[in-house]
Chains A and B, each alone.
Chain A
């Protein structure tokens, strides 16, 4: 690795060369604007020569887990591919959720085979958000809209300023990416005036988040969720819920799955598929008993899982404030409102 002072600076047009030149050895995934539901939405796509990717702005509609824990995968034998990948434009809310996955799936004796393969073979180049969606609320979870090196979750981070990227290193793995950067691009030390612009830009997006969420407070007493077992309160909060499971499927930190076997000739495959605690049969056992028969019980379970159980399991809330569950909900249930209302009863 060339010895240089980090942060570095690279021009966007120059950086594209890196993407183009590594195609032989890497699958590269990037956020692009999608046709779906207006132009505000970004979605990951595999690079195929289209240079209109968007690394800045805000999160994609699809959670990062779609690249690491696919909707349905064979776990026996593992179906993940060991081809090297680079995923770019990952936002902090997705990165922080990945930490939950790491804790749940790579733990001690039981290592999820596909996740391990995808995770080990993927380099993550994250990016700052320089804008926010109405549903974004990482600030309420006391996270920032740009990754923190201390979390150790990104390999490289690119902060876009005009047509340039400020490059910072996040991990040992990232050094390999830096080598590639030097190999394919013209890399400079980031000058002071650009770094000042970054500070201004970060301030701006933080302010925007505060403005978007001005009706809500980060000082929320989450213990009220588990403490409140009032049928009336929860029935009211969940009365519009149509039990579609959208909020959990779209959530970057939900990882519930079912496992079933399929025969293939004389042999068999074992498949795991996403599941959702919002669906009726989720916890039902043989004979029909279920600890959460009613909609409000399942609705409440999601809040308990995210703000109580996961906190105890992983020392981190099961919500990073990405806002996807709010954007996706056909019943227009806003998680922020639900938690706010619970503070008041």
Chain B
């Protein structure tokens, strides 16, 4: 019996780097071997000899498995190094890890995506996947936020998404600095929920973003009438292995890497300090 080394990587050529915002870049990768994933699962991406970190693909899971987009915020050591990477450079990738979004439970329902900052990355992956099977869902409400207009990523997709009948897109920024333009709302992401046109009792919501946004976003959803079991949260815990062997990601009895990274709120509500 010869099991593959779970720490081994697939070579990933960087085809293109897109500057989404001052802090966030999207890396378009061409993989040496196929890596098939389900939306919601994540990968470990490494700069050879420097280190690795977990990221969620931002491209659809229907995309050619030799290709993947990953959107990365410059947040520290490894991500800082990743941000120096240019088209033509080589990265390493391993995965996929964790469980995908339970798409079966979304079918026939109103789906609401609530995201902020780089949290839009996994949500774009999900949205592209939902769009692919748009007939399966009743409607899709997209609530995206950012600190300021220039921090809002994927802006150039907004027009295209908004054209789709079943999609209702709403965006907001915390503030508009001098010299920047913005037609959408101003405020923190939960304010977008004031304008939703769906019945929360029968809808599912998927939340991803900075911890503080996740926290107040979740509370706002509960206030609106979303059931705990219909609120799905991406838990970005510290991770080293991705498959249950470093224990760094545990939330109570669950591993964020194996049992998550997406959890329904009722599953982890009781665990302490989930927002930090």
Chain A positions near chain B (C-beta within 8 angstroms): 75-78, 104-105, 107, 109-113, 116, 226, 229, 255-264, 267-268, 270, 272, 275, 277, 282-287, 289-293, 297, 304-305, 308-309, 312-313
Contact = CB atoms under 8 A, between A and B. Distances in A.
A68 to B, nearest CB: 14
Given A259-B52, A286-B76, A113 B5 contact: yes
A272 B240 CA distance: 9
Secondary structure of the A contact surface, majority rule: mixed
Most interface-central of A112, A259, A268, A312 (chain B CB within 10 A)? A259
Contacts of B236: 285
Contacts of B159: none
Contacts of B238: 282-285
Residue of A76, A286, A304, A313 with most chain B CB atoms under a 10 A cut-off: A286
Interface string B1-40: 0010111110000000000000000000000000000000
B245 A289 contact: no
Contact of A259 (B7, B8, B276): B7
B interface majority secondary structure? loop
Contacts of A312: 253
A176 to B, nearest CB: 19
B109 interface: no
Given A261-B51, A290-B276, A309-B250, A109 B243 contact: yes
B246 interface: yes
Given A104-B245, A110-B243, A76 B49 contact: no
B245 A110 contact: yes
B185 interface: no
A285 B76 CA distance: 10
Nearest 7 Cβ contacts at the A-B interface:
A263-B49, A268-B49, A286-B75, A110-B243, A312-B253, A111-B3, A286-B76
B241 interface: yes
Interface in B215-252: 236-238, 240-241, 243-248, 250, 252
A76 B246 contact: no
B231 to A, nearest CB: 19
Contacts of A309: 250, 252-253
A285 B245 contact: no
Given A259-B246, A261-B48, A268-B49, 12 more contacts: A256-B248, A259-B7, A261-B51, A267-B48, A270-B7, A272-B246, A282-B238, A286-B75, A286-B76, A286-B79, A291-B273, A309-B253
A81 B49 CA distance: 23
Contacts of B211: 289
A272 B75 CA distance: 23
A146 to B, nearest CB: 30
Contacts of B75: 286-287
B194 interface: no
A107 B49 contact: no
Nearest to A285: B238
Contacts of B5: 75-78, 113
A292 B273 contact: yes
A261 B49 contact: yes
B272 interface: yes
A283 B272 CA distance: 13
B74 to A, nearest CB: 10
Given A268-B49, A289-B211, A312-B253, A76 B248 contact: no
Given A229-B272, A256-B246, A261-B48, A76 B241 contact: no
Contacts of B273: 291-292, 297
A292 B5 CA distance: 32
Contacts of A291: 237, 272-274, 276
A262 B50 CA distance: 6
A100 B250 CA distance: 16
Contact of A76 (B3, B8, B244, B272): B8
Contacts of B245: 104-105, 110, 112, 255, 257
